[in-house]
Amino acid sequence: MNETIDQISSLPDDILIHILSFLRTREAVQTCILSKRWRKTWASVPVLNFHASDYNENEGWKFDQFVNGVLENRGPALLDTIISSQDVEDRYIDPPPIGWLHRATLLMPRVISVDIPDCYGWDLDFPDSVFSCASLEKLELFYFSESWPAFFSLNSIALVSLKTLVLEYLTLHDDFMQKLFLGCPVLENLKLWICELDISDIPSNALKEFTLDDCQHLQPMQISCPGLLFLCPSHL
């Protein structure tokens, strides 16, 4: 009888970690039961991919609890990317599962991408640390709603390494844009999708790409970006 040989477990740690980075984080954590060697392998994965759709509508706190547990038990390895996504049809989770973002920023990731379910009366209150994380180069915030865009306001922005910002279904005002360009001196790529805008000026020496896709309530806008290479105003 031929014995089954576990060839995967014989691979070097860096290859195992690379393989696990393609799994959902929930699946990667479950590999800890395979053997002693696998017990902490997941804790060094550089890409974390969470899915809020794994939880019921009233279990936003459970999602937060799981994500915080993963972040708290990570090893010393660098964290590159955090993705929190959900299926489009599962729009509502109570409360909005974004409380974990503060702990995530303490690990200094390069990329954060978050799908935010419909708040339905809850405040869309991001931790200040999300907008002062010095390591962030790319930030994507996708808000899902069947009713109206969420109001988006911040006390300050200090994302000194941010090069790409993508915002979806949010209400933005001039005050936000002024803080954005003052606090993001190297921002090169700005994408606004289905946003409600009250913006009169886009002032940036660093911006190279600016996309407006299906945004509403536009007023005349002055774009003062001498380095702009690509402008895409779609479905205005």
Residue range(s) defining the domain that contains residue 14: 9-234
106 assigned to some structural domain: yes
Give per-residue pLDDT as tens, 199-223: 888 999 999 999 999 888 777 888 9
Is 84 within a domain? yes
- pLDDT value, residue 69: 92
Is the pTM above the cut of 0.85?
yes
SS3 content of the chain, % helix, strand, coil (to 5): 25, 25, 50
Q: Residue 150's Cα: distance from chain center in Å?
A: 16
When divided into structural domains, the chain yields a total of 1
pLDDT confidence of residue 122: 53
Average pLDDT over residues 17-35: 90
Give, in degrees to the nearest 5, the angle at Cα 117 between 196 and 124: 60
138-185 tens-digit pLDDT: 999 988 766 666 666 778 899 999 999 999 988 888 888 899 999 999
Is residue 2 in some structural domain? Answer: no
Nearest to 41 by CA among 51, 57, 30: 30
Is 189 a domain residue? Answer: yes
Domain presence at residue 97: yes
**Lookup: tokens for 143:** 């808000």
* Residue 1 included in any domain: no
State yes or no: pLDDT of 27 exceeds 80: yes
